[in-house]
Amino acid sequence: MNLLKPFQEMSQNFSIAQKDINSSIIRDVLLNNDNVILSDAAVSDIMKCREYLSQRVADSSDPIYGVNTGFGSLCNTKINVNDIEKLQTNLILSHACGTGEIVPCEIVKIMLFLKIRSLSFGYSGVRLELINMLMDYYNNNILPIIYTQGSLGASGDLAPLAHLSLPLIGKGEVLFQNKIIPSLKAMSQFKLNPIYLSFKEGLALLNGTQFMSAYGVWCVLEAKKIFYISNIIASLSLESFSCKADPFNELISNIRPHAGQGYTSKLILKILKGSESFYSNKKYVQDPYSFRCIPQVHGATFDVINHVDAIFNIEINSVTDNPSIFFDEDKIISGGNFHGQPLAMAMDYLAISLSELGNISERRTYQLISGDRDLPPYLIDNPGLNSGMMISQYTAASIVSQNKQLSTPSSVDSIVSSNGQEDHVSMGANAATKLIQVVNNVKTILAIELLNAAQAIDIIKPNTSPFIKSFLTKYRKSVPFLNEDDQLNIYIKSSQEFISNFDVLKSLDIND
């Protein structure tokens, strides 16, 4: 199941500035395609903050970064009062330097959501009409065309957020009704006119972590699904490789009480509840690590997912532009909340943990095709004439190797920018775009294990659990048992689609 269904009519309103939401709430808002709105309290705070900033600009000639000064290393350059609004439009245009592939529409949708939310807390000093226009884009599914390359993940996601902002001033392109069109054409359908940016607004749009955060939220949500489906598929492999239930005994987890390990053991036992074969296997003294250590390896990934989810839940509820305006305290403070270091390190960690799910999955596939434990070599009749599943393991191994390369941390890198003013950057955007590749790669590796494990279990024919029987029945509607060689990439793709469409949380009765 995709986390984002095809866009539908709006089902209900969601107050976007409410306190303490999390990634699961964002998922539900996206799935329901809810219309975002502002509460009266949020509107009041936005207007008070803007009034305060307007008064400060009118009453004082003191430099306020990005309001009446240049940007980056030009922060000490005073801007003529007659030019401070043109300054904001120039900022958007000059920073729209994105290159690379187009950002997936799901990510752009989350970026819009998070940008609206951050501005709605009333610390950014923008006008209400700017936020309303962003909500018009979000609610009508007018999604700006944004590119994957260009952000250093430190001064905010400058280039991606510039492309997010271009349509507001009538520039750039958008995805609307599955077509890429000029922004003005989409705006005309809703009788929207380009907005004239006022002081601070261009900077508020560009400073922020919404590119990194959107990728992080999306990948955390996908990681949760991957964790659960990996345990279902691993359970098929455990059955088909005649493995023992002993390593999943709670006594083992109780004396090494990592939360993920214990949870994974219970989950495997839940999936295999009612299996006669799994609980009676006595033929082999021990199983290979890729089977026996599922609680330890999968469990470690589960703990990382929860840790990273907590970090992004903080970010979802944060203000990350600059400077921040505290109207009650009569202060305008220039700080560094746009720096993506917490996110970069978290996404690197998540990439490593997901890569390990793929790594151990490929090892199980390798074992299944080895010809051991009463399984035929390569899980096919007449091996030799037939090569069976041989090369599916090659494919998995190549992707596992790529994931190892993609898991090299971005957050340990930095490069000087803006003439030395921005002398340490997080590279969180690179961490984000690598992470999503790892997420998609792990799905493919698991699809290959599923293809092999289902083939093996139909050969062994164990008296397995009701859950596994039901799962296999559904899977076999998409992918048949193979009696002889066939074009395997077709079945790998079908297995990927099955995994994507399978409602794993509902099937396991998981309430997150």
Q: How far is CA 291 from CA 109, 203, 284, 300, 370, in A?
A: 39, 52, 13, 15, 14
Taking residues 94-108, report their average pLDDT. 96
pTM: predicted TM-score of the whole model, two decimal places? 0.94
CB 412 within 8 A of CB 193: no
Amino acid letter, 298: H
Q: Domain 216-320+333-413+425-507 in CATH: superfamily?
A: Fumarase/aspartase (Central domain) (1.20.200.10)
- The ranges assigned to domains in the chain are 13-208, 216-320+333-413+425-507
Nearest by Cα to 481 from 460, 501, 507: 460
Verify whether residue 147 is a known catalytic residue: no
Say which residue the tokens 């009480």 belong to: 257
Tell me the two tokens of residue 411: 């957050």
361: its two tokens: 């999955």
Residue 418 has pLDDT above 80, yes or no: no
DSSP 246: G
Helices (H), 166-209: 183-189, 201-206
Q: Looking at residues 135-153, what average pLDDT do you find?
A: 95
% of the chain residues with pLDDT over 90: 84
In angstroms, rounded to a whole number, what is the distance separating the alpha carbons of residues 113 and 105? 12
What are the backbone dihedrals phi and psi of residue 264, each rounded to the nearest 5 degrees, phi first? -65, -40
Q: Is 23 exposed, middle or buried (0-12, 13-18, 19+ CB in 10 A)?
A: buried
C-alpha torsion angle, residues 487, 489, 490, 493 (rounded to 10) = 170
pLDDT score of 74: 62
**What's the confidence (pLDDT) of residue 416?**
80
Least confident of 3-17, 130-144, 273-287, 352-366: 3-17
Cβ-contact 143, 171 below 8 angstroms: no
Could you write out the DSSP letters of every residue in 409-471?
-STT----BGGGTB-----HHHHHHHHHHHHHHHHHHHHHHHHHHHHHHHHH-----HHHHHH
Report pLDDT for 86: 82
Q: What is the DSSP string of 366-398?
A: HHHTTT-TTPPGGG-SSBTTB-TTHHHHHHHHH
Predicted confidence band at 9 (pLDDT cuts at 50, 70, 90)?
low
Nearest CA-CA partner of 358 in 439, 237, 254, 272: 439
Distance CA 152, CA 344 (A): 10
CA neighbor of 504 nearest in space, from 157, 234, 225: 225
Angle between helices 259-271 and 294-316 (to 10 degrees): 110
Alpha-carbon distance 125 to 67, whole Å? 10
Q: What band does 79 get if pLDDT is binned at 50, 70 and 90?
A: low
Averaged over 148-164, what is the pLDDT?
Answer: 92
User: 358: closest CA among 312, 311, 405?
Assistant: 405
DSSP bridge partners of 37:
15
pLDDT value of position 134: 98
Query: How many helices (H) does the chain have, and how many strands (E)?
Result: 19, 9
The CATH topology of domain 13-208 is Fumarase C; Chain B, domain 1 (1.10.275)
Residues 6+ apart with CB under 8 A from 334: 65, 322, 323
Confidence band, pLDDT 50/70/90 cuts, at residue 161: very high
Placement of tokens 């054409």 in the chain: 185
Tell how strand 173-176 and strand 324-326 pair up: unpaired
Please report the pLDDT score of residue 6 as a whole number.
47
| pLDDT single digits (tens) 24-48 | 999 999 999 999 999 999 999 999 9
Residue for token pair 């607004």: 201
The residue written with tokens 């220039």 in the block is 334
Bridge-based pairing state of the strands 35-37 and 13-15: parallel
Q: Which of 52, 65, 263, 491 is catalytic?
A: 65
The average confidence (pLDDT) of the chain is 93
pLDDT bin (cut points 50, 70, 90) of residue 2 is very low
Query: What count of residues does the chain have?
Result: 512
Residue identified by tokens 């009453």 is 59
Residues whose CB falls within 8 Å of the CB of residue 76, separated by 6 or more in sequence, listed in order: 63, 69, 70
Give the chain's radius of gyration (CA, Å).
26
> Is residue 488 within 8 Å of 507, Cβ to Cβ?
no
| Intrachain domains 13-208 and 216-320+333-413+425-507 with the same fold | no
Tally Cβ neighbours within 10 Å of residue 330: 9
